[in-house]
Chains A and B, each alone.
Chain A
Amino acid sequence: MKKLESKKVKKYGNYKMNISGAIIVLALVAAILSVFAVLSAKNAYREMKLAENADQRIKDYYTADTKMGFVFNAIDDALAQNSPKSLNEINTLIAEELKNEGVESFIKEEEMIFTIAIDENRKLEACVSLDFSNKEMRVLSYKAIPASEGDYSSGMIDIWDGVINIE
Chain B
Amino acid sequence: MDSDNKIRRAGFKAFRLPLLEMVLIIIIFIIVSAMITRIFISASAYSKRAADLRKADILLQNAAEIVRKDGLSEVIFTYGLLRSGQGEYGNAFETGLDEDFNATKEAERVEYYLDVVPTEKHAELGDDFYLSKNGKYGVMIDVYDKDRNLISSVSEVYVK
Binding site for B on A (CB under 8 A): 8, 12-13, 15-20, 23, 26-27, 30, 33-34, 37-38, 40-41, 43-45, 47-48, 50-52, 54-55, 58-59, 62-63, 65-66, 68-70, 72-73
Contacts and interface: CB of A to CB of B under 8 A. Distances in A.
A40 B45 CA distance: 11
B47 A44 contact: yes
Contacts of B156: 62-63, 66
A59 B158 contact: no
15 contacts: A12-B19, A17-B17, A19-B15, A30-B29, A44-B42, A44-B43, A44-B46, A44-B47, A48-B46, A48-B53, A55-B57, A58-B57, A58-B60, A62-B156, A69-B138
A62 B20 CA distance: 64
Name which of A30, A50, A51 has the most chain B CB atoms within 10 A of its CB: A51
Contacts of A66: 138, 156-158
Nearest to A24: B15
Interface in B15-42: 15-20, 22, 25, 29, 32-33, 35-36, 39-40, 42
A52 B53 contact: yes
Interface residues of B, number: 42
Interface of B: 15-20, 22, 25, 29, 32-33, 35-36, 39-40, 42-44, 46-47, 49-51, 53-54, 56-57, 60-61, 64, 68, 136, 138, 152-160
Contacts of B138: 66, 69
Contacts of A55: 53, 56-57, 152
A41 B29 contact: no
Nearest to B156: A66
Nearest to B157: A62
Given A12-B18, A58-B60, A63-B156, A41 B53 contact: no
Contact of A16 (B17, B49, B56, B160): B17
